[in-house]
A and B are shown apart, each in its own frame.
Chain A
Amino acid sequence: MRKCSLDKINLIFAEIAKNAELYLPVDQNDGSAAYKKWEEGTAWSNKLNTVKSPKDFFFPQTEDLMQFKTQGKNIEIVDTRSALQDFVIFGVRACDVKSFDILDRVFLSEPVDSFYASRRKHGVIISLACTRPSETCFCKTFDIDPANPTGDISAWKTESEIFFAANTEKGAALLDKLSSLTEECDDAAVLEQKEKINAIMDKLPLKNLTTDAFGGGKTNELFNAPEWDELSSACLGCGTCTFVCPTCQCYDIKDFNTGNGVVRFRCWDSCMYSDFTKMAHGNNRLTQKERFRQRFMHKLVYYPENNDGLFSCVGCGRCLAKCPISMNIVKVMKKIGGKKDE
């Protein structure tokens, strides 16, 4: 374990930025935080988390896949990708780090998504333990320990210092480069910090939320639950929850004719959108209820069924904070799951 004084944090950033693009949460003028590229003078945000999750780094909201040039009846496929730079994401919370595992299982399963994979290969994640979780946090429900974030390097912040521990080779290599700015230390301070976090975690309002009612194999039990009608009744069908969600990974592939060729790009899509499943045969999720149900069934039943029980939610609380009508996975879990206790 290595540590450094928070006074020197900008030196650390500068050192990292020498060899890689460094991204970290930065305050925006609207009062929220967003990941921004670090440049001399960029201040690290104190906010608990960013509005948009860091999934953007590996699975950008839009990315060009290729370009087509057509001439008469002929087509040429042009690879428009430029060589990827190494990059470091700093200050990723435990929940968001976990979301990468969830995305990995989708994009790195066969057939591997090469666009995602190469971004993943070039990225180093420096996670950061939470100090002041919010009332909307429920990562514990998904067995995520905000005091023990994973990632290539884990970091803990105290009043005056920041501690680092490498978890992977990539992380160790990066930490090595920071050796002149950090000093070796024991984990006493970190342990103390962890205890503090755990004490807070026990006070969180959503601490008792459980996944007991969910998981693989529950499809038939939950799919026809009558509660879906009421839960989805107010849903506007916007994409806020899916776009702020760190684990939502639905996408669309579209063509854009630039006038000088056709760019085929991939962009985020949302299962909440009415024409999401509109395909050749028609649309098999015609009502907002069906689409709403799909999103939560996917996170809580289908995904775990296909991924060894792993839920596709990390309890980051973004959808709780951002849904225009305040409908969210917690309300769904309590309503749908709750009746089992009765």
Chain B
Amino acid sequence: MNNINETLIPKIGVITDVRIDTPDIKTFRVVTPDGKKAFDHRPGQCAMLSVPGVGEAMFSITSSPTNEEYMEFSIKKCGCVTDWLHQAEPGQQITIRGPYGEPFPVDDVFAGKDLLFIAGGVGLAPLRSVINYCRHYRDRYGKIDIVYGSRSKDDLLDYKEIIEEWSTDTGVNVHLTIDNPQEGWDGHVGFVPNYVKELGFDTNKVAVLCGPPIMIKFTLDGLCEIGFDKTNVYTTLELRMKCGVGKCGRCNVGAKYVCKDGPVFRCDELEELPSEY
């Protein structure tokens, strides 16, 4: 293809590694056929992966922009594209285009602040990129708290990385929780929103939320309850994108296009939008 930078025309990507994270989530490592990273991105941005004949789907880039070698995508099995990807083996080519969306304001708003990341289930995937970015530039930020919950221990994404790397970082506090008690789990048990309230964070920090809609709603309420200002809370809505370029007409919430104006929204901005998400 002559002009590879055209909006809707993807590049070829090669899956070089498939990691099984949870029973229904796998993490795929993708590079170009010549072994490079397909494009640069910022934390919170997305890429359109596709399988010819199956379709296109948008995924948040899970790996940190600071990783110069490859991109990673943590993908939950939930549709035809993801089903297909879950069967793919290393060496399989797919197509990739992007990056799409506005990233998290890691270099301005976040700079110098204490950060609180709250994720539920596969919602950690988009945050992993920011968390690792912030860990990479550790000195630019204050204290980092990470609250992460899932249905069970087996459903916790990146568990190894969380335990082995994140928890051991200085100034990074990881708070894990699972919905129901489980053998072999001596950590916290309970839903994320409640856990956040229990933990009772100090409110002069930036909070970033991602997870199922119901979790976001209750966690946001919880944060407000403990005194957070919505202007300091961010979330991401990437799951509703289709074309990625702000033209196909689907992803708008009110006048905002998730793929162009988002997927990262500040919660006060989100509140301004009609309740259609």
Contact = CB atoms under 8 A, between A and B. Distances in A.
A250 B9 CA distance: 18
Interface string A256-283: 0100001010100101000011011100
A271 B56 CA distance: 19
Nearest to A107: B247
A269 B10 CA distance: 21
B183 interface: no
A306 B260 CA distance: 12
A77 B53 contact: no
B1 A79 contact: yes
Interface stretch (B23-31, B196-204, B248-256): B248-256
Contacts, number: 121
Interface stretch (B90-98, B112-120, B162-170): B90-98
Contacts of A216: 255
B52 A114 contact: no
Interface in A82-126: 106-107, 109, 111-115
Interface in B251-276: 252-255, 272-274, 276
Interface stretch (B65-73, B142-150, B186-194, B238-246): B238-246
A250 B250 contact: yes
B6 interface: yes
B35 interface: no
B93 A77 contact: no
Residue of A111, A249, A251, A262 with most chain B CB atoms under a 10 A cut-off: A111
A68 B52 contact: yes
A271 B247 CA distance: 13
For the residues of A in contact with B, the DSSP-based class is mixed
Residue of B3, B93, B94, B95 with most chain A CB atoms under a 10 A cut-off: B93
Nearest to A78: B1
A223 B277 CA distance: 13
Contact of A255 (B7, B55, B78, B248): B55
Given A113-B7, A115-B8, A302-B252, A280 B78 contact: yes
B7 A112 contact: yes
A339 interface: no
B79 interface: yes
A75 interface: yes
A298 B274 CA distance: 13
A290 B9 contact: no
A220 interface: yes
Contacts of A253: 8, 56, 242-243, 248
Contacts of B277: 284
A77 B255 contact: no
Contacts of A65: 8-9
A73 B33 CA distance: 12
B226 interface: no
For the residues of B in contact with A, the DSSP-based class is loop
A294 B252 CA distance: 9
Given A279-B239, A284-B276, A302-B252, A249 B247 contact: yes
Contact of B52 (A75, A281, A294, A301): A75
Chain B interface category by residue count: 35 or more
B139 to A, nearest CB: 34
B2 A249 contact: no
B240 A251 contact: no
Contact of B242 (A223, A279, A303): A279
A194 interface: no
Nearest to B248: A251
Given A74-B93, A79-B2, A266-B8, A249 B53 contact: no
Contacts of B250: 250, 271, 276-277, 279
A77 B50 CA distance: 12
Nearest to A277: B250
B57 A280 contact: yes
Contacts of A74: 93
Interface string B9-39: 1101000000000000000000000000000
A66 B56 CA distance: 13
Nearest to A115: B8
B247 A106 contact: yes
B245 A262 contact: no
A39 interface: no
Interface in A291-310: 294, 297-298, 301-303, 305-306
A281 B3 CA distance: 32
8 smallest CB-CB distances across A and B, nearest first, come from A250-B249, A68-B52, A281-B239, A302-B255, A262-B52, A305-B255, A223-B274, A262-B53
Given A250-B248, A271-B249, 6 more contacts: A255-B54, A257-B53, A269-B249, A279-B240, A301-B255, A305-B255
30 contacts: A65-B9, A66-B1, A76-B12, A79-B2, A106-B246, A107-B247, A111-B245, A114-B6, A114-B7, A219-B254, A219-B255, A219-B273, A220-B274, A249-B247, A251-B243, A253-B8, A257-B53, A262-B52, A269-B248, A271-B249, A277-B240, A279-B241, A280-B57, A281-B239, A284-B276, A284-B277, A285-B276, A302-B252, A305-B255, A306-B255
